[in-house]
Structure 1
Amino acid sequence: MQRILSFEQTPALLVPLRFMLTAPLFALLAAALMFWSGPDMLASRWLPATLAFTHLLTIGFLSMTMVGALIQILQVVAGIEIARPRLTAAIVHTTLAVGCILLSLAFLRSEAMLFRLALACLGTGFLWLLAACGIGVWRDAQPTATVTAIRFSLAGLAVALSLGVTAASAFAWPLALPLIELTNLHAAWGLLAWVGLLTIGVAYQVVPMFQVTPVYPVFMTRWLSWAILAGLCSWSASRLFPAPVSGWLADLASLALCAAFLGFGVQTLRLLAQRKRPPDATTQFWRTSLLCLIASALLWLAGEWMPAAANAAWLPISVGALFIVGFGCTVVNGMLYKIVPFLIWYHLQHQLASQGRKAPNVRQIITDRAASRQFQVQFCAIVLMTAAPIWPEMLARLAALAFGISACWLGINLAHAAGIYRTALAEPAPGERRAPVTL
């Protein structure tokens, strides 16, 4: 069931919006890096440019928007009051932004000092976030389906952060560590727990609310988060056992994880098919992202169980493109087109009511036409990003160009929405003079 929303606890607009307005810049940087690197970047997932590109998206785009949404949702949906949300937002936003850039430069330049600075910034930002949100989530929140998913996603973030810091320490200091194993675990917990579970928890609330669908089945909301967490723990623990136990445990865990995400994707597509209104641009973002989630899960299984697919050099990069760009970036993109206009409308409605003025309609803040045009470019970018590892010479720079245009277009649409907010507040009431305002 959806929880009754407590909008009186909503934080100041700048608290979530600063994350959401910044995120497209990092996607644009990632696209520029891919265009500059060209086909060489797609030769392996272990190349410096590939690692920099991945973290520009996972930290700079996905984590940025997810942190902004998390701070908003915890107070409105879960009723958790985050201590000093403005200070928390300012510190987390700054450290993540600076740390992401430093980490990307560290990969590209292979400089130990840059890795140390990046670890300091990212460690500070994520630890502050975990402290600010984690205590209330585990101590004060009612155990709804959304809260459970958020709890597990924050736990996954803590594990991914620990593994990532450990792996990066091998570059910052001369340490002999099993980097490949650490990186695989870091990627699994970061993508499947932090990104995947948080998206699932948010979807329980926003899909019925913004897409006007029936609610998710009780059985799914009760057990899905537990199944994903158990699958991740089992997959990670399989590394501790000797063969052949490690092999069959890893296969069983992989199957369970894929089944869980496939179940979420199929069920959400079914709910969207029962939407009570005609589909809009955000519906297309959701459907495309879910299809990419399903495709990435099936392709991952093929790589795990089929020797011919496992030996294909392009497969892990295409799986990553489907999950990170196709699923993660696209579903976040679609949610931004609902969350940002709604927040701007809500804050304007309250601030203009005392003057007897009305806020612009939500659909006027970011029009469906503007979102639909950007979706078309995003869809092309997904197709090209997925196919580029197979035909890198032909498609690498074309994919980067399409993705860069999509990111730039998203940023323009969000900046336009923020401009509507500033303009509406700056307009004086009859007989009143008013200075320009900021967010």
Structure 2
Amino acid sequence: MRPPRRPSINGWRVTSLTSTASLSLEQAPPISVPFRFFLTAPLFLLLAALLLMLEGAAVLTDRWSPLTLSMTHLFTLGVLGQVMMGAMLQMLPVLAGSPVPRVVPLAITVHLATSLGTLALVAGFLGAGALWMKLAVCLLAGGFALFIGGVGIALWRVVRVSATVIAMRLAVLGLLVTVLLGLYLAAAQLWKLPYVDLIMLTNTHLAWGGTAWVGLLIVGVGYQVVPMFQLTPEYPLRLQRLFAPLLFAALLVWSLDYWSISAAPWLALLVGSGFMLFALVTLHLQRRRRRKLADVTLNFWRLGLGLVVLAWLLMLTRALSDLNLDLWLGVCLIFAVLSIINGMLYKIVPFLSWFHLQHQKTASLAGGGPRIPSMKELLPDRFARRQWYLHLLALLLWAGVLAVGDSLTLPAGLFLGLSSLLLCYNLVRVVLKFRHLQAELRAAAPAGAVDQHY
């Protein structure tokens, strides 16, 4: 008698995904934990698009203006922060085998505090008054303290420390530094606290947030999701072991040197070189995929990685000349990360839905009952491809705003808004399918057989 066929995700068997205890759903949080963060991110992206449409090129003319600061924090806190926190709460138990304590109430509280705190911060930047800034400081301080405390406990409890866990630990340290610097900057403005240099504090805050928190977390998660979902070879072991610690050390040296008299721009370029190396290695691995089928998520990844390389070239140009490329560099890096997390979401959300449904079916119906769709059926490529074109056009138009000014701000904001709406629609569509299939499984299962964990 032939053994039963293993379930398929994208037409390939899932032995490599389910053969390790670290991917056991008994340790994974309820699917609502990451999804509440993932589904919020496109809404903040829509707000950023609306801000550009309403305020025009003034949003991108001076990095220190309230409009630019509002736009920056809609991207960093509202979009990137939400996705990063949702990914961390999901990946820690799944990949590291260490659940976050009381994850459901923690996730609800962190999500509400950071979402409302981000809105209050933007309102404060836009002139709504000091009360909104004070509210933002309180909400963001509380939300991030709870998040860092929860994931910190989980990271401390990890028994088998992998390269991904090391990257996560350093990313959380980076988040802690970023939050402390950001809160001090806000408090210094509100309560006239002493500070050495506003520009230097802001640049350090930005460097730790972008490099340590967002950058190292993407790298650590990339070690897992790139080979898993894109069927590439594994990252070189030496790169996995050394990349995050060396880059974190380089960032620390840069920070200390930046505050000295002889601050060297080449140290910042060295940190950027690390991410360029990761981008080039990832592109090389993607060329060696075992099954070279069309996959629109690869377009997002390749665009993002290409923008990382372009950002390094901009940093090199800035170091060799007197050109002010801050806004170009900022747009380049923001769209680089947006592209990569867009590609990640289009794999992680359908995978989690498939995985939870498959486990629920096995637990309650012993593998029988309704058929569970594959990832490609939960989120067909044609839906993601439509959003890919809007995303690419939005990037080109944003670059056009920097190049020619106000005449392109309306279409740039419009296409970014349409891209965010379609991303949200595609993700919500998967969630609705998940809920429908979950209801079918419950209806088909014997009384009391369905695990309510899902």
What residue number does 1:202 align with? 221
- How far the C-alpha of 1:252 sits from its partner, in A, is 3.2
Matched residue count: 425
What residue number does 2:240 align with? 221
What residue number does 2:315 align with? 300
Correspondence 1:6 to 2:19: no
Q: Provide closer, same or farther for how the CA distance between residues 431 and 175 of structure 1 changes in structure 2, counting only shifts above 3 A.
A: closer
| Partner amino acid, structure 2, of 1:6 | L
| Partner amino acid, structure 1, of 2:221 | V
What are the within-5 Å matches in structure 2 for residues 209-248 of structure 1?
209-242=228-261, 245-246=262-263
What residue number does 2:436 align with? 423
| Partner amino acid, structure 2, of 1:329 | L
Correspondence 1:252 to 2:266: yes
What residue number does 1:411 align with? 424
What residue number does 2:6 align with? none
Q: Hey, what's the Cα distance between the residues in 1 that align with 2:228 and 2:167? A: 18
Given that residues 258 and 298 in structure 1 are in contact (C-alpha distance below 8 angstroms), is that contact kept between their aligned partners in structure 2? no
What are the within-5 Å matches in structure 2 for residues 10-159 of structure 1?
10-109=28-127, 111-159=129-177
Given that residues 141 and 147 in structure 1 are in contact (C-alpha distance below 8 angstroms), is that contact kept between their aligned partners in structure 2? no
Name the % identity: 39
Given that residues 96 and 161 in structure 2 are in contact (C-alpha distance below 8 angstroms), is that contact kept between their aligned partners in structure 1? no
What residue number does 1:398 align with? 411
User: Match of 1:389, SS?
Assistant: helix
What are the within-5 Å matches in structure 2 for residues 326-337 of structure 1?
326-337=335-346
> In structure 2, which of residues 313, 328, 331 is the aligned counterpart of residue 318 of structure 1?
328
| Partner amino acid, structure 2, of 1:399 | A
Q: Hey, what's the Cα distance between the residues in 2 that align with 1:294 and 1:268? A: 12
What residue number does 2:203 align with? 184
| Partner amino acid, structure 2, of 1:252 | W
TM value normalised by structure 2: 0.89
- How far the C-alpha of 1:214 sits from its partner, in A, is 0.2
**CA deviation map 1:141-180 (0-9, x unaligned):** 4331111111111010000011100111123223343221
**CA deviation map 1:218-237 (0-9, x unaligned):** 12111111221122112111
TM value normalised by structure 1: 0.92
Q: Hey, what's the Cα distance between the residues in 1 that align with 2:164 and 2:64? A: 35
What residue number does 1:276 align with? 290
| Partner amino acid, structure 1, of 2:67 | A
- How far the C-alpha of 1:432 sits from its partner, in A, is 9.8
| Partner amino acid, structure 2, of 1:275 | R
Which consecutive residues of structure 2, in runs of 5 or more, have no partner in the other structure?
A: 1-15
Q: Hey, what's the Cα distance between the residues in 2 that align with 1:430 and 1:165? A: 52
Q: Which moved more, 1:373-382 or 1:199-208?
A: 373-382
- How far the C-alpha of 1:419 sits from its partner, in A, is 0.8
Q: Hey, what's the Cα distance between the residues in 2 that align with 1:199 and 1:336? A: 12
Q: Which moved more, 1:170-179 or 1:189-198?
A: 170-179
Given that residues 250 and 267 in structure 2 are in contact (C-alpha distance below 8 angstroms), is that contact kept between their aligned partners in structure 1? yes
Q: Provide closer, same or farther for how the CA distance between residues 45 and 240 of structure 1 changes in structure 2, counting only shifts above 3 A.
A: closer
| Partner amino acid, structure 1, of 2:201 | L
RMSD: 2.1
Q: Hey, what's the Cα distance between the residues in 2 that align with 1:57 and 1:264? A: 23
User: Match of 2:132, SS?
Assistant: helix
User: Match of 1:9, SS?
Assistant: coil
Q: Hey, what's the Cα distance between the residues in 2 that align with 1:41 and 1:346? A: 42
- How far the C-alpha of 1:103 sits from its partner, in A, is 0.5
Q: Which moved more, 1:220-229 or 1:75-84?
A: 220-229
Q: Hey, what's the Cα distance between the residues in 1 that align with 2:429 and 2:297? A: 17
| Partner amino acid, structure 2, of 1:45 | R
Q: Hey, what's the Cα distance between the residues in 2 that align with 1:275 and 1:36? A: 44
User: Match of 2:277, SS?
Assistant: helix
**CA deviation map 1:99-145 (0-9, x unaligned):** 01000101001622111110111111111111101123134343311
- How far the C-alpha of 1:287 sits from its partner, in A, is 0.5
Q: Hey, what's the Cα distance between the residues in 1 that align with 2:414 and 2:336? A: 19
Q: Hey, what's the Cα distance between the residues in 2 that align with 1:193 and 1:13? A: 27
Given that residues 227 and 257 in structure 1 are in contact (C-alpha distance below 8 angstroms), is that contact kept between their aligned partners in structure 2? no
Q: Hey, what's the Cα distance between the residues in 1 that align with 2:97 and 2:443? A: 34
Correspondence 1:161 to 2:176: no
Q: Hey, what's the Cα distance between the residues in 1 that align with 2:398 and 2:152? A: 35
- How far the C-alpha of 1:305 sits from its partner, in A, is 2.5
| Partner amino acid, structure 1, of 2:329 | V
